[in-house]
Amino acid sequence: MRPRRTPTGIRPLTRPSAAAVAAGCLLGVLSVVPGAPSPATTSPATTPAAATAGETATVFYYTKTRNWAQYHLHYAPDGGAWTTAPGMRMESACADWVKATVDLGSAAGLQATFTDGSGTWDNNAGRDYDLGTGDITVKDGVVAHSDPCGDDGGTDPGSGGTATVYFATGTLGWTTANLHYQPTGGAWTAVPGVGMEAACTGWWKKEVGLGTATSMKAAFNNGNGVWDNNRGADYTLPTGLTTVDDGTVTTDATDPCAEETPDTRAPTAPTGVTARADGVAVVLTWEPSTDDRGVTRYQVTRTGGTRGTVVTDVGSTVLSDAGLEERTAYTYTVRAVDAAGNVSAASATATATTGEKPADPATGRPLGTDPRKDPIYFVMTARFQDGDTSNNRGGSQHEKSGNAAASDPMLRGDFRGLVDKLDYIKGLGFSAVWITPVVLNRSDYDYHGYHGWDFYRVDPRLESAGASYQDLINAAHAKGMKIYQDVVYNHSSRWGAKGLFTPTVHGVRDAQWSWYYDETQAGFEYDGLTVEPKSGKSYYNGDLWSTAEPTGNTCLNWGKPTGGRSPEGYTLYNCQWPSPTSGMFPRALYHNCWIGNWEGEDSRSCWLHEDLADFNTENARVQNYLIGAYDKYIDMGVDGFRVDTAVHIPRTTWNRRFLPAIQERVTQRHGAEAARNFFVFGEVAAFVNDKWNRGSVNHSAQFYTWKERAEYSADDEQAALEMYAYEQRQGTGNQPTSRNAFLDGNAYHAPDHSRFSCMHVIDMRMHMNFSDASNAFHNGKDSDDSYNDATYNVVYVDSHDYGPNKSGERYAGGTDAWAENMSLMWTFRGIPTLYYGSEIEFQKGRKIDCGPSCPLSTTGRAYFGDHLAGEVKASDFSRVDSASGAVADTLAMPLARHVQRLNEIRRAVPALQTGQYSTEGIQGEMAFKRRYTSGGTDSFALVTVTHAATYTGVPNGTYVDAVTGDRRTVTDGKLTVAAPGKGNLRVYVLDGPGKIGTAGPYLR
C-alpha cells in the first residue's frame, strides 16, 4: 500500500508536467499576452474552463503505454482525506482512455495517483498529481485539460458544412492538442475547446460541423495555457480539409496522414542500465534505445521498499530518483516508448541499495521570477570575502605563485563570506548573484572552479559549518536574491571526472620525483580540504599515479623515458602527465585531440587546454553523468545556470539532451513557473566585432538561442557533424531572424519564442566593444535581429577572463567612461552584469589572469574582502540602512553610488527591465524608446545616454524624467532633450512616478 500524503493547499487549475515543459522551454510557446483579446474578447491563456465550479472533476487516464489490466484512481480532494487504496475503479471512456468522475464538494482540485490495483503505481515519481476540476487528462505524466473522448460541443458534423482540421505539433512538442473555435456568426467553444485525436506522428485531427457557416475562427492549445493563436490574430479556417503547420494554413489540403504507414515497430530495449545510490537517492542511467522513427520517452519501473511498484516517465536517459527509504534495495527496469506509443521490451534489471538520509537541510526553491528584472553581480567565490579562514588552501603552487609571500591563499573566499556580505550586494541594488563553479575541483591551481573533479560534490573548501551551499542559496532567497551557478559541461579536470573516468598516470617515487608523488594511503580520499597525515598535503595525489602499468592501459610506451628533462633536470617518462594525445583517455568518453581552428569543427571535439580534459558530450554515458550531477543543484533551488564554454558543445547536443533535461528537472522539482524562469545563459566566446563570428554561424552567440531547423542522424556525434555542415552551407544570410526585442512603432507585441532553444547568451559583441559605449550600443543593436530574444542577453564590460577588445586587463577607460557604460547597460535591452569590484574600479588596468606565474594579489582576480571589512545592513535593494568600516568607504565611491541609483531607477520602470525597444523616429547618439505592456502594466520610456536627443512620433501625454523629475507635456508627438553629460542620462517615462532616488556624482 502506498503511503498517504497530506494535502498542502489548493492547486491551480493547470499544472504542466515535465514533458510539456521540456518541449517548449515554457518561455511563451506561442502564448498570448495576459489581457490580449484573443480569441473573441477573452484571452484563452487566462480564461478558465467552463467546468470550474469545483464540484466535479472527470479524470481521463491514457492507457496505451501502461497496458494494465485495470486502472484505479486513488485521490484526495484538497483539504480532504485520501480514498482507501487502491481507490475507485476507472471505466473505459474511448480508445486508449479510461475515466472516473469525482465529486469534490467545495474543493478546488485533488491530489491523485493511479494503480493497476495489484501494487503497481503511477504516482508522478513520488510527488502525486495535482489536478484541478472539469475535464482533466493525464497522459505519460502530462496533465492537461480537455475531454479526449467528447464531441465537438457544436453542430453535428453530419449536418451542414464540415471542417476537417489537422494540426501539426512536431515543432511544439505538445503531447495533447485542443481546438478552440467559433463558427462564423456563432459562439466560441468553452476554453480550452475540444480535444483533438492523434492522427499520425506529429499530427492531430478534429472534424467539426459548422452548420450553415462556411468558415470558423480557431486557436489551438495544449490544455495547459500554452496557445497557438496565430500570434493573437486567430486562424480563419474554411470547410473542407485544412492543415495548420507551424503557422502555415493550407486549405483544400491532402490528408497528411494518408500515405503514412502505421508505426507498429517497438524501439529496442534500453541497455547499459546502471544504478548508483547517493544517500536516499538513486541515479539511474542507460544507453539510448533505437527506433525506426525515434524514441520519445522512457518508462522506468521501480520495485522495492514499502511503496510498491512505481512507474515514472522521463524524457532523457537519466533519472535521479530521490526521497527513497533508508538502507533499502531498489530494482529498476527501463522501457523505451516511441511517438506511436509502441513500448520496447524491458531492459535488464539494475539494483542499488540506499544509505542513510543526509543531515543536510531541506532543499530550497528557486524564486521563479522573470530573470530580466534581476541585475547580476558576478563574484569569484574564492576571491570575494573570507568568512572562514579554516578552509583556506594554497595548493601546490602556493610558493611558486608568490601567493605565500603575500599571505594570500588561492582559495580564500567562501560561502560564509558571501552570506555575510549579501547585504552589501543588495545595498548596491543587485538581486542576482552569479558565482563561479561549486563542484569539487582538482588541479594545481583550481580556486576558480573550472577544473571539475567530482561533479556530484560541492567543494569543501567553499563550505563551513552553518554556511553550506544550501545555506547560501537559502540565505539569498530569504533576501529576495537569486543564485546563478556557473556550470561546466564541456570538460573536467586533467585528472578526469570521479564516477565517470579517471586516468592512472605513471609515477615513480625515486630520488627525483618523491617530492611530487605522494605515497598511496589506503582509505584516504581527496576532497581538497582534508590534509593527508603522512604527506601533510591537502592536494594529495597518491591515488592518481602508479609505477605498475594498470590493467587495460591504452597509453603507449608506459613508463619509458621520453628522452626529455623537466625544468629541474629530472627524467621525464611517457604517460607521466595526462594529455589528449597520450591515449590515457577512452575515446568514447573523452576527445583525443588539440584544437587547431577555433572557428572550425574541431573546436567542439578537442581539448582547449592541457588541464581541461574535453568530454565527449555526444556519448550517452557522459550526458547521463552530467545531467545527474546538475540535477542535484537544481534540486537545491538554484535559480539558473551560467554555462561555461557553451560554444565547444554542438547545438544539437544542447537542444537534444542538456537543455530539455534542465527544463524537465526544474519542472519536476519546482513546478512550471520556476521552469519558465530558470535562467540558462551560455558563454559563446566570440572575440571579434562581427555580427557573425568570422562568418561562422556555428561559433556565434546568437546561433545557440535557436532550435534546430533540420532533421539529423539519431546518433548524436553524427548529428553534430551534419548540423555543422548544414548550417555552414546555409551561411550567415539564411539564419532565423526575430522581432522579439523590437517595438512595432511605439507598440509592444507578444514575443514569439516557439523556436527558442532554452539557452540565452552573454552578449559577446557588446562586451568586445565596451571600450566605447557608443560602439557597444550600435554593435549590439546591429545584432539583435539574429538572437531569439535579445532582451535576455547578459551584458557586461569586463569579466574574470577578458576586458573589451579581448583585452587581458581589467577595464581602465576612466571613471566617466565606466559611468557611461553603466548608464547604457542599465537602460538598454538585456540584463546588466557587474564583475565584482568594478563599482570601485578594483584592479583597473591589472592583468586579469596570469595563472601561478604571479601573485593573485597583483591581478584582476585579487582578494576583494579588504574593501568589505566592517558591517553593512540593507533593508531593500539600493537601500543601505547602515555601514561602518571599509565597506562604508566602498559604498561611498562614485561608481558604487552610480550603480546603486541605476538599479533603483531600473527597478521602478518596467520598460527598462522587460521592454522591447526602437530607435525609429529618434535623433541621438545613444537614444532609444522602450515599452512593456502586460495586463494592467503599460510602461513607456524615452532614454538618452550622455548626448542630446529628439524623439518624434511618440504618444502624447505627460513625461517625467526619472533622473531629475523634470516634467514635459507632449502634444505633437515630439520631445527634445538636451545633452545630460558624460555618464549621465535622461529617462522620460510616460505618466512616470517622478524623480527616483537621490542625485549623485553622475545621475543629476
Q: Return the number of other C-beta atoms located less than 10 Å from residue 903's C-beta.
A: 25
Q: What pLDDT, on a 0 to 100 scale, did the predictor assign at position 95?
A: 85
Distance in angstroms (rounded) separating the CA atoms of residues 384 and 150: 61
The answer to whether 846 and 860 are in contact (CB under 8 A) is: yes
Sign of the CA dihedral with 863 first, then 864, 870, and 873 last: negative
In 10 A of CB 326, how many CB atoms?
12
* Lookup: cell for 39: 480569441
Would you call the peptide bond into 192 cis, given omega within 30 degrees of 0 as the criterion? yes
- Tally the residues of the chain: 1004
- Residue 195 pairs with which residues in a beta bridge? 178
Q: From edge to edge, which strands make up the β-sheet containing 97-103?
A: 91-94, 97-103, 56-62, 134-139, 142-144
Low-confidence residues of the chain, pLDDT below 70? 1-54, 151-159, 171, 173, 260, 358-362
Which pLDDT score, from 0 to 100, does residue 5 have? Answer: 30
Query: 916 near 932, Cβ under 8 Å?
Result: yes
Q: Is residue 458 within 8 Å of 633, Cβ to Cβ?
A: no
Q: Provide the H-helix boundaries in 64-219.
A: none
pLDDT at 900: 98
CA triple 909-473-861, angle to 5 deg: 85
Q: Which among 119, 74, 77, 124 has a CA at the least distance from the CA of 100?
A: 74
pTM, 2 dp: 0.79
Q: What is each CA distance from 37 to 183, 184, 234, in whole angstroms?
A: 17, 17, 10
Question: Is the bond preceding 1001 in cis, omega lying within 30 degrees of 0?
Answer: no
Q: Which residues pair with 496 in a beta bridge?
A: 493
Burial of 441 (0-12, 13-18, 19+ CB in 10 A): buried
Residue with cell 617518462: 573
Q: In 3D, which of 563, 572, 578 has the Cα closest to residue 512? A: 572
Give φ, ψ of 513 to 5 degrees.
-110, 0
327, with CB counted inside 10 A (0-12, 13-18, 19+), is exposed
User: How much is the pLDDT for 149?
Assistant: 84
- Find out whether 217 and 236 touch, Cβ atoms under 8 Å: yes
- Report how far Cα 191 is from the mean position of its chain's Cα atoms: 31
**How many Å from the N-terminal Cα to the C-terminal Cα in the chain?**
69
> In the numeric block, which cell numbers belong to residue 63?
492507457
Return mean pLDDT, the chain.
Answer: 90
Which amino acid is residue 153, in one-letter code? Answer: G
